[in-house]
Chain A
């Protein structure tokens, strides 16, 4: 038998990532439509129309912007992983050629999560200028704390990308609609994206219940990084919570992937 040289894991990882980027580039318009449509519509209604009608107090844009970025990041990171997983493990079994790549199975899952992180960041970067365009100048917005912005963005994206892996490999294809209405929608609305966590002082029970929702920490973390002047959850708390939740989702996602990949 011929001596076959072993392939470096990083080489295979990069090849898998290149494949995902190639496929994502091919359907970029659909990707953006799928992931940024909802946040943009929300921006138009709550960040432009309602303030115009005088129905929003001044400064709401400052609350809304970080939240909208968090939602875009979360939605796109989840979907970039969950949808292909549901499809690849479902009817088409397209993932087979990647599962036969000569690397440990968990590497293939980890690569997919990383590709979800990249797509989440792209969606957020796409929404940011649109938000500025739709809402006009946003008081108190600063890009001075670039380090904080980067940490929250990457942590938020990896948390939701790993959640996408967990959901995408754990949910039957016919229940994908349920994922949106039963998991993603409540997460968006109780994620302190459209209102600050502090605002929930008005409904104390809810204020503590929503703490199980990772979106809360991304939204509040974005506030801490982008609009630090406005009251928000302490940044270290957001970062700590995201680290813990993301570790949990990674473990669950990799485990669930393995269960589907190896019978």
Chain B
């Protein structure tokens, strides 16, 4: 069964002419700060294309990942699917309801965990859950039972009456997940849920998410952590600059990763000439200069490095730094986008 369907989803933010001392008023799911550079269109109106025709088809029960660097369009996608951002074009349905024509029906069926925890600070921990339930028509007694159970499950049973400010970052994030779950949504959206968490809190959150997935819930998560996507997701969409670059299971995507080891040599100047020299070496399947970086795909691991350095010096450059990456989602990502994540 289809949980989420999008077709030609597009979002363009008009950019107002720069105001004196002002900045564009953002919305909670508004244009990301470090997004793609604004595009000047005829007539002098500047606009920012956050999403450029996205087609997705997510099955019920799937753990789906949206992977991409900051400004790729992940948050905008989540924003549209959670009815908080109006698409400029295209259509999308979530749990059978149209996000544009019937946002209320969508809201009834989704739970959302935001990028930055935003509990209601006027309320204490358990009140956050009880009032959120009330917004979904759940009576106080039932809400209290559910809230208590969720807090216990997330190891915060004794924090029920605390102010939310007394919670750690990880606890606040778990409170956000509890809040997103308390009305038992069909689809759970998580926007970069582990950003800013320490490693232990991140692992704890992964366990929570795995358990939810096992219960058969549809989960859509954005992340710019490769490892997180690899560990948790059934399928992944790699997006960058508002475009879908690859979409497959994590295993299949890893199989598509460019063969061999990726070696980046940082040089002391433009790498183009050195790239030509290195490309001629044995066991080098590809060498290209990206600014001062020489990117080499080696079928013999790091053993080509000394020969490559010699070739670089022969081209009149010096190597300042060396990075090696084994074939992985990350090398695939770099191959697809030409840039690193995060």
A11 sits at the interface (CB 8 A): yes
Q: A1–B23 Cα gap in the complex (Å)?
A: 42
Q: Using an 8 Å CB-CB cutoff, how does the interface string of A1-22 with B read, 1 for contact, 0 for none?
A: 1101111100110011011001
B84 sits at the interface (CB 8 A): yes
B235 sits at the interface (CB 8 A): no
Pair A22/B127 contact, Cβ less than 8 Å: yes
Pair A104/B104 contact, Cβ less than 8 Å: yes
Query: Which residues of A11-60 have CB atoms within 8 Å of chain B's CB atoms?
Result: 11-12, 15-16, 18-19, 22-23, 26-27
Q: Considering only CB atoms, which chain B residue lies closest to A5 in the complex?
A: B137
B256 sits at the interface (CB 8 A): no
In this complex, the member of B13, B28, B30, B116 whose beta carbon has the largest number of chain A beta carbons within 10 angstroms is B28
Partner of A22, one of B84, B123, B136: B123
Partner of A261, one of B27, B104, B136: B27
Query: Which residues of B135-167 have CB atoms within 8 Å of chain A's CB atoms?
Result: 135-137
Pair A1/B134 contact, Cβ less than 8 Å: no
Q: List 27 A-B contacts (CB under 8 A).
A: A1-B1, A12-B135, A12-B136, A15-B131, A15-B134, A15-B137, A19-B131, A22-B127, A22-B131, A23-B120, A23-B122, A26-B122, A92-B118, A93-B118, A94-B119, A95-B28, A99-B28, A99-B84, A101-B107, A101-B136, A102-B105, A102-B135, A105-B103, A172-B23, A262-B86, A263-B30, A263-B79
Q: A172–B26 Cα gap in the complex (Å)?
A: 10
Interface SS majority for chain B: loop
Q: A211–B202 Cα gap in the complex (Å)?
A: 60
Q: Taking the nearest CB of chain A, how far is it from the CB of B130, in angstroms?
A: 10
Query: Which residues of B174-229 have CB atoms within 8 Å of chain A's CB atoms?
Result: 179, 184, 186
B238 sits at the interface (CB 8 A): no
Partner of B123, one of A5, A23, A104: A23
Residues of A near B29 (CB, < 8 A) are 263
A201 sits at the interface (CB 8 A): no
Q: Taking the nearest CB of chain B, how far is it from the CB of A31, in angstroms?
A: 12
Known: A23-B123, A102-B108. A263 touches B84 (CB 8 A): yes
In this complex, the member of A89, A98, A101 whose beta carbon has the largest number of chain B beta carbons within 10 angstroms is A101
Q: A92–B127 Cα gap in the complex (Å)?
A: 18
Q: A27–B109 Cα gap in the complex (Å)?
A: 34
Q: A99–B86 Cα gap in the complex (Å)?
A: 14
Pair B123/A172 contact, Cβ less than 8 Å: no
Pair A94/B120 contact, Cβ less than 8 Å: yes
Q: A4–B131 Cα gap in the complex (Å)?
A: 19
Partner of A260, one of B25, B105, B112, B121: B25
Q: Taking the nearest CB of chain A, how far is it from the CB of B105, in angstroms?
A: 8
Pair B116/A93 contact, Cβ less than 8 Å: yes
Q: Using an 8 Å CB-CB cutoff, how does the interface string of A57-89 with B read, 1 for contact, 0 for none?
A: 000000000000000000000000000000001
Partner of A263, one of B27, B96, B112, B120: B27
- The bracket for how many chain A residues form the interface is 35 or more
Q: Considering only CB atoms, which chain B residue lies closest to A105 in the complex?
A: B103
Q: A102–B186 Cα gap in the complex (Å)?
A: 14
Q: A89–B104 Cα gap in the complex (Å)?
A: 21
Q: A103–B132 Cα gap in the complex (Å)?
A: 13
* Chain A interface (Cβ < 8 Å from any Cβ of B): 1-2, 4-8, 11-12, 15-16, 18-19, 22-23, 26-27, 89, 92-105, 172, 260-263
Residues of B near A18 (CB, < 8 A) are 131, 134
In this complex, the member of A18, A19, A26 whose beta carbon has the largest number of chain B beta carbons within 10 angstroms is A19
Q: Considering only CB atoms, which chain A residue lies closest to B186 in the complex?
A: A1
Pair A11/B137 contact, Cβ less than 8 Å: yes
B73 sits at the interface (CB 8 A): no
Q: A98–B29 Cα gap in the complex (Å)?
A: 14
Q: Considering only CB atoms, which chain A residue lies closest to B164 in the complex?
A: A94
Q: Considering only CB atoms, which chain B residue lies closest to A11 in the complex?
A: B137
Pair B135/A94 contact, Cβ less than 8 Å: no
Partner of A96, one of B23, B118, B186: B118
Q: Using an 8 Å CB-CB cutoff, how does the interface string of B72-113 with A read, 1 for contact, 0 for none?
A: 000000010011111000000001100000011101111010
In this complex, the member of B60, B104, B119, B184 whose beta carbon has the largest number of chain A beta carbons within 10 angstroms is B104
Q: A105–B82 Cα gap in the complex (Å)?
A: 13
Q: Considering only CB atoms, which chain A residue lies closest to B104 in the complex?
A: A102
Residues of A near B18 (CB, < 8 A) are none
Partner of B132, one of A6, A23, A95, A97: A97
Q: A92–B118 Cα gap in the complex (Å)?
A: 6
B289 sits at the interface (CB 8 A): no
B43 sits at the interface (CB 8 A): no
Known: A262-B86, A263-B84. A97 touches B104 (CB 8 A): no
Q: Using an 8 Å CB-CB cutoff, how does the interface string of B54-67 with A read, 1 for contact, 0 for none?
A: 00000010000000
Q: Using an 8 Å CB-CB cutoff, how does the interface string of B318-338 with A read, 1 for contact, 0 for none?
A: 000000000000000000000
Residues of A near B116 (CB, < 8 A) are 93
Q: Taking the nearest CB of chain A, how far is it from the CB of B287, in angstroms?
A: 43
Known: A1-B186, A7-B108, A99-B84. A94 touches B22 (CB 8 A): no
Residues of B near A97 (CB, < 8 A) are 118-120, 128, 132, 135, 179
Q: Considering only CB atoms, which chain A residue lies closest to B120 in the complex?
A: A94
Residues of B near A6 (CB, < 8 A) are 105, 108
B31 sits at the interface (CB 8 A): yes
Pair A2/B186 contact, Cβ less than 8 Å: yes
Q: A261–B31 Cα gap in the complex (Å)?
A: 13
Residues of A near B260 (CB, < 8 A) are none
